[in-house]
Chain A
Amino acid sequence: MAHEKHFDHVTGTETTGHVWDDDIRELNKPLPKWWLYVMYATIVWGIGYWIAYPAWPTLSGYTKGMLGYSQRSEVAADIAQAKAAQDTFRQAIDKTPLADIKQSPELMQFAMAGGAALFGENCAACHGRGAQGATGYPNLNDDDWLWGGTLDTIHKTISYGIRSSHEQTHATAMPRFGLDGALDAAQINDVASHVRLMAGLDADKEQAARGAATFADQCAVCHNPDGTGNTEMGAPNLVDSIWLYGNSQQQVAASIATGRGGIMPAWEGRLDPVSIKMLTVYVHALGGGK
């Protein structure tokens, strides 16, 4: 910088020496030192980062960095660590009989938390996030169980499924009385009236009286003569307040005509035994377990 220093006369500040349009000058307002040094430090840091960590894309991939760091391996390590932390509990659940899990508050807490997560991942698609069910998909919160509500029966249902491909699955199904021609439309309507009357709903007494005989012939085998059902056969209780497929005359008649047989996959093989146990405990504790 060979030129003379020039100072602005109004502010007394040195100018940069550039002149525009004869007399316009720029005040020399340099960046503060600390600011400059911080910027240089960030540049040095940035270069160091490129060397140490994955940074630049290449044609076939990216620069890996000297430290060999990757977010993927970090996640894998985190998951492995979490799994290891769960191992003691999982082993304890594996060894503990189903009925005894609730004796230990720690095991119960672990099973409930794990069961809730497993339920959300595997069961909620049909039964709903809160296990509240839907038409054709049972509500698991209530005390009405098609295949039994004890820990053991719930465990069996989850493991083998209902009408699934598993050998030990619950296989019995309700005949299609109307579609297969066993009963005609009038008979079906009569049986529907009888069922509704048994359950305490309004129905045509005359039709019901006719339907009673048909019920005794065709339905009582599975549903019991008094309509209370049989969890061995998966035959629902017809005289309670819970109707999986609806309780209007039309809906009940439709159930008789087409037969009902919901399906549920077997979870044995898909989930490990400890997970099935935790799910069992969770479903049992939703409020309706027997």
Chain B
Amino acid sequence: MSTRWEAASKHKPPLVQRERSSIATILVMPDHAKRTANDYITGAAVSEAAPGVMRHDVQAVAHKKPITLGVDAGPGRIAYASREHVYPKKAHGRYRTIKWAIMAVTLAIYYVVPWLRYSRGEGLPSQAILFDFEHQRLYFGPLEIWAQEFYYVTGLLVISALGLFLVTSVAGRMWCGYACPQTVWTDLMIAVERYWQGDRNAHMRLDNGPWTFEKIWKKAATHASWLFIGLMTGGAFVFYFRDAPTLAMELVNGTAPAVAYAFLAIFTGTTYLLGGIAREQVCIYMCPWPRIQGAMLDRHSLLVSYRAAIGEPRGSHKKNETWDNRGNCVDCKACVAVCPMGIDIRNGAQLECIQCALCIDACDEIMDKVGRPRGLIDYTTEHNLASATAGPRDGLRIFRPRTLLYAGLIVLVGGLMGTALLNRADLEISVLADRNPQFVTLSDGSLRNGYTIKIVNKAGTERSVRIDVSGIDGVTTVIAGAKDAGSVLTVPPADVRAVKIFVTLPRDRAGQRHGASTPLDITVTDTATGVASTRQTAFHGPNG
């Protein structure tokens, strides 16, 4: 099977066909582009697009030829094509600077956060952000989320998702292009790769050359660096789940829990694989978000776009030639060369595009060189693209029903969560009435019910509490193991204490009961602050 497969993949179609698209039909394809893919392995620039601007020898590898059923496609279309390696050229400019800054900030947050300390008192973890699965607690600074309160985390995720919707409807895949860990880490991996193997052309020469000593050590250094970054990524990840300084020592000593080493290995492997090896394939084939985000976009969403109205017709520009009756695009393909996704932005909005804006930087640099205005590729809207004269951000409508809806939902969910959080009780009681037996008749004819009470103390200090039973007159309460009913119980800080209580209704008070099950309130009160929590339960007895 593999023989057939290789035979098929060697049979590549001519470039002109591969780059044909709906937009391409209006483009004038330059003669020199009519070459086969095999000619494109040297990485060398082959011609001048404009004075001082070399044309990049690059093809949009990730842009597949659209399938049109019923049309004779000719020989050579293959069912499964190998991934063609993308060699993104380093970009310089405003958006590249912003991306470096965001990379620095997000990585700093990721690595620094587990080391922030927060004092909670004795016996409690002093790490500011800690996901303590072992004790089923999530710590966010002063806030401590218990396992049964996981809905706060759910709320946070809902708000995050809505935030993503809002950003996407305003300015496209901002998340994908700037802040997604896949983008940040891939950017980092590519930077490391460039450090060892050089920028696009040098890298391609190295890859297509023989296995020399230089190639071997450069490749080895790259992969070692990637694995090291992966190790650091996994290393930082596990610190979120266990006291960081302690775990760091344990990891070095070899005494850390096996699960810590397992996750260290998993994250080392996945970072290396997804950031170093798979890269754009994760976004194109694995991530569901690109498929969903189309639903959030409309004609007024800002998108990184090629403004065909001022770019076409494209073509080489010679010195002293007029710019009349032609577009500003000199077809230098700088935008394609810098693209980490391996697409040609000039083909219009595409699923593969993560909106990283590096093509804007690349194009602006060229426009400066040829003396044409910047912004041939820019953040603009479908609405403005349709007009021959509109500027990129003319008549921008940020406040639209769609964005207002998303913003409104964020405020609503945030308000609900905030209200719930502010009214969160730090003393709670849960009551479990004995089921077997439901009630016990004592020798003097009185009825006794047993209850297991769990007192939840979410405060960071030890509390003294009192248990009161009300709702049925004349009952007596005994706390198992305590001296008397009015006994003050202590509940350790941030802990749960379970106690058994027996409630007895004397025979002469039997009239207080209503049928087999009579409502009974059990209240736990903080003796110092008076804070109380009440649960209604039932007092059971024989029917009648």
A287 and B5: CB pair below 8 A?
A: no
Q: Is A76 among interface residues, defined by CB-CB distance under 8 A?
A: no
Q: Which residues of A contact B11 (CB under 8 A)?
A: 5, 14
Q: Which residues of A contact B435 (CB under 8 A)?
A: 130
Identify which of A42-50, A170-178, A188-196, A237-245 touches chain B. A237-245
Given contacts A12-B74, A30-B5, A31-B1, contact A287 B79 (CB under 8 A): no
Task: List A residues 1-57 near B (Cβ within 8 Å).
Answer: 1, 5, 7, 9-14, 16, 27-33, 36
B4 and A14: CB pair below 8 A?
A: yes
Q: Which residues of B contact A131 (CB under 8 A)?
A: 437
Closest to A130 in B: B436
Given contacts A10-B72, A33-B2, contact A144 B437 (CB under 8 A): no
Closest to A102 in B: B481
From A16, A237, A241, residue with most partner B Cβ within 10 Å = A241
Given contacts A240-B443, A287-B448, contact A30 B80 (CB under 8 A): yes
Q: Which residues of B contact A30 (CB under 8 A)?
A: 1-2, 4-5, 79-80
Q: From A16, A132, A241, give the contact of B442 (CB < 8 A).
A: A241
Q: Which residues of A contact B78 (CB under 8 A)?
A: 13-14
Q: Which residues of B contact A36 (CB under 8 A)?
A: 1-2
Q: From B3, B69, B70, B450, give the contact of A1 (CB < 8 A).
A: B3
Q: Is B54 among interface residues, defined by CB-CB distance under 8 A?
A: no
Other 16 A-B pairs with CB < 8 A, given A141-B437, A143-B442: A11-B73, A11-B77, A13-B79, A14-B7, A30-B1, A30-B5, A33-B2, A128-B436, A131-B437, A132-B436, A144-B443, A237-B443, A240-B444, A241-B443, A241-B507, A242-B441
User: Chain B 425-447 against A: per-residue CB contact (8 Å), 1 yes, 0 no?
Assistant: 00000000011110011111100
Bound state CA distance, A7 and B4, in angstroms?
Answer: 12
Taking the nearest CB of chain A, how far is it from the CB of B412, in angstroms?
Answer: 44
Bound state CA distance, A153 and B8, in angstroms?
Answer: 90
Given contacts A7-B75, A10-B72, A130-B437, contact A28 B443 (CB under 8 A): no
Taking the nearest CB of chain A, how far is it from the CB of B426, in angstroms?
Answer: 24
Taking the nearest CB of chain A, how far is it from the CB of B491, in angstroms?
Answer: 13
Task: List B residues 114-163 near A (Cβ within 8 Å).
Answer: none
Task: List A residues 219-242 near B (Cβ within 8 Å).
Answer: 237, 240-242
Q: Is A129 among interface residues, defined by CB-CB distance under 8 A?
A: yes
Closest to B79 in A: A29
Q: Is A98 among interface residues, defined by CB-CB distance under 8 A?
A: no
Q: Is A108 among interface residues, defined by CB-CB distance under 8 A?
A: yes
Task: List A residues 140-192 near B (Cβ within 8 Å).
Answer: 141-144
Task: List B residues 382-441 near A (Cβ within 8 Å).
Answer: 434-437, 440-441
20 chain-A/chain-B pairs, Cβ below 8 angstroms: A5-B7, A7-B75, A10-B72, A12-B76, A14-B11, A16-B4, A30-B2, A31-B1, A33-B5, A108-B481, A130-B435, A132-B437, A142-B440, A142-B443, A144-B443, A237-B443, A241-B443, A241-B507, A285-B480, A288-B442
Given contacts A29-B79, A130-B437, contact A10 B70 (CB under 8 A): yes
User: Chain A 117-145 against B: per-residue CB contact (8 Å), 1 yes, 0 no?
Assistant: 00000000000111110000001011110
A241 and B441: CB pair below 8 A?
A: yes
Bound state CA distance, A102 and B482, in angstroms?
Answer: 11
Q: Which residues of A contact B500 (CB under 8 A)?
A: 285
Q: Which residues of B contact A285 (CB under 8 A)?
A: 480, 500
Q: Which residues of B contact A31 (CB under 8 A)?
A: 1
B79 and A139: CB pair below 8 A?
A: no
Closest to B448 in A: A287
Taking the nearest CB of chain A, how far is it from the CB of B494, in angstroms?
Answer: 18
Given contacts A13-B78, A14-B78, contact A28 B442 (CB under 8 A): no
Taking the nearest CB of chain B, how far is it from the CB of A229, in angstroms?
Answer: 10
Given contacts A13-B79, A143-B442, contact A287 B450 (CB under 8 A): yes
Bound state CA distance, A57 and B444, in angstroms?
Answer: 67
Give the contact-size bracket for chain B: 35 or more
Q: Is B196 among interface residues, defined by CB-CB distance under 8 A?
A: no
Q: Is B111 among interface residues, defined by CB-CB distance under 8 A?
A: no
From A10, A12, A128, A129, residue with most partner B Cβ within 10 Å = A12
Bound state CA distance, A290 and B428, in angstroms?
Answer: 32
From A30, A32, A108, A237, residue with most partner B Cβ within 10 Å = A30
Q: From B76, B79, B507, give the contact of A28 (CB < 8 A).
A: B79
Bound state CA distance, A147 and B77, in angstroms?
Answer: 93
Q: Is B241 among interface residues, defined by CB-CB distance under 8 A?
A: no
Q: Which residues of B contact A10 (CB under 8 A)?
A: 69-70, 72-73
A12 and B75: CB pair below 8 A?
A: yes
- Using a CB–CB distance below 8 Å, which chain A residues touch chain B? 1, 5, 7, 9-14, 16, 27-33, 36, 102, 108, 128-132, 139, 141-144, 237, 240-242, 285, 287-288
Given contacts A14-B78, A132-B437, contact A142 B442 (CB under 8 A): yes
Q: Which residues of B contact A11 (CB under 8 A)?
A: 67, 69, 73, 77
Q: Which residues of B contact A108 (CB under 8 A)?
A: 481
Q: Which residues of B contact A9 (CB under 8 A)?
A: 72-74
From A14, A130, A242, residue with most partner B Cβ within 10 Å = A14
Q: Is B502 among interface residues, defined by CB-CB distance under 8 A?
A: yes
Closest to B436 in A: A130
A13 and B445: CB pair below 8 A?
A: no
Q: Which residues of A contact B8 (CB under 8 A)?
A: 14, 28
Q: From A28, A139, A241, give the contact of B445 (CB < 8 A).
A: A241
A27 and B443: CB pair below 8 A?
A: no
Q: Which residues of B contact A28 (CB under 8 A)?
A: 4, 8, 79
Q: Which 3 A-B pairs have the closest CB atoms?
A: A130-B436, A12-B77, A12-B73
Q: Which residues of B contact A102 (CB under 8 A)?
A: 481
A143 and B443: CB pair below 8 A?
A: yes
Bound state CA distance, A241 and B506, in angstroms?
Answer: 12
Q: Which residues of B contact A129 (CB under 8 A)?
A: 436
User: Chain B 8-35 against A: per-residue CB contact (8 Å), 1 yes, 0 no?
Assistant: 1001000000000000000000000000
Bound state CA distance, A130 and B278, in angstroms?
Answer: 60
B502 and A287: CB pair below 8 A?
A: yes
Task: List B residues 463-522 near A (Cβ within 8 Å).
Answer: 480-481, 500, 502, 507
Taking the nearest CB of chain A, how far is it from the CB of B142, in angstroms?
Answer: 30
Closest to B1 in A: A30
Bound state CA distance, A52 and B529, in angstroms?
Answer: 64
Closest to B447 in A: A241
Taking the nearest CB of chain A, how far is it from the CB of B17, in angstroms?
Answer: 10
Q: Which residues of A contact B5 (CB under 8 A)?
A: 30, 33
Q: Which residues of A contact B7 (CB under 8 A)?
A: 5, 14
Bound state CA distance, A32 and B77, in angstroms?
Answer: 16
User: Chain B 238-259 against A: per-residue CB contact (8 Å), 1 yes, 0 no?
Assistant: 0000000000000000000000
A139 and B437: CB pair below 8 A?
A: yes
Q: Which residues of A contact B73 (CB under 8 A)?
A: 9-12
Q: Which residues of A contact B445 (CB under 8 A)?
A: 240-241
A7 and B2: CB pair below 8 A?
A: no
B440 and A287: CB pair below 8 A?
A: yes
A144 and B79: CB pair below 8 A?
A: no
Bound state CA distance, A132 and B435, in angstroms?
Answer: 11
Q: Which residues of A contact B70 (CB under 8 A)?
A: 10
B434 and A130: CB pair below 8 A?
A: yes
Bound state CA distance, A287 and B450, in angstroms?
Answer: 8
Taking the nearest CB of chain B, how far is it from the CB of A51, in angstroms?
Answer: 25
A7 and B440: CB pair below 8 A?
A: no
Q: Which residues of A contact B3 (CB under 8 A)?
A: 1
Taking the nearest CB of chain A, how far is it from the CB of B260, in angstroms?
Answer: 22
Taking the nearest CB of chain A, how far is it from the CB of B13, in angstroms?
Answer: 9
Q: Which residues of B contact A130 (CB under 8 A)?
A: 434-437
